[in-house]
Chains A and B, each alone.
Chain A
Amino acid sequence: MAAIRISAMKTAKAGEIIELKALIRHKMETGFRRGSRGEAIPRDIITHFVCLYNGEAVFEADFFPSVAANPFLIFYTRATESGTLEFRWTDQHGTVSSQTANISVES
């Protein structure tokens, strides 16, 4: 559906707080704009984001039309164990886009 960019450290120490950056290319059409002929442009937005750390949600976001185009997030999580981080976006039609990043945690 769209281009995704993720920034996450590949290795971390156990207990360390790591920064995660996630961007998805999406126009986030508000539904408040009109086209060149005055017709209303229908709303088309991503409504939900979740970051799963080995399947468990560590951060979630709910988007409304006031989130800028190409939604960008910086958030944090505590490195607990090696595994995968899944970044998952869902749009208003239920379409899911996701990408995963591996993390190896040293004790």
Chain B
Amino acid sequence: MNLKKYLPVFRQKNIPPLAELWVDVHSHLLPAIDDGARDMEESILLLQGLEALGYKKVITTPHIMADTYCNTPAGIRASLATLVSTAKEAGIKLEIEAAAEYYMDDGFLAQINAEDVLLIGGEYLLFETSYMAKPLQFDAMVQAILAAGHKPLLAHPERYRYIQDLKTEYRGLKEKGIYFQVNLNSFGGHYGKEAKIKANFLNKQGMIDFLGSDVHHKRQVETLWKIKTKRVYQRLFENNSLLNNTL
């Protein structure tokens, strides 16, 4: 028996990733501003973790949510400045930028129509909705984003439980001009079985535009390592035309 003949098959898993993700577009790294990093120490720890994963640039996105995380663009920028300088001192070479993850609630319209809007790469507006029910005004809000001249980027579309008929509903969202940002950890089942099924569906359909880490705490950095060794990670690059590295 010639085992060597079969060896490449087994070794395939260990081949270093052909494509790499340089830019992360979704994370909660700013200290004590939302439910992400609780203090500067944790922020630095998370940044180091992301750097080790091979990222060269992170665009962190704190929550903006009426009555819960009442962040303002100015506040976020101030916090970013502190983080950047602290990171430099800590020897982190990562390029750090900040945008925001807007929650589609009663304050949403006022936020996006304000003069100062936080965008990813200067054009993508990252937003999320309630997980359990689709807001009645969803379509109108998306129209408002487009009208304001931004590209609507839906955060983790695989996590919304109100999406039941995957094919029709995701296609409908795409037709409205919405970009999709899928969480890498969804492929490892970090957000549950349902989110994993939906993430795999989106991957197979080639509907993913951006991949995000959505890092809140250390554990999520650890699980990202596991995703990188999985075959699905390579498939993500094969099936989708990912825009991460264009930023």
Q: Are A and B part of the same complex?
A: no
Residue ranges of A at the interface with B (Cβ–Cβ < 8 Å): none
Residue ranges of B at the interface with A (Cβ–Cβ < 8 Å): none
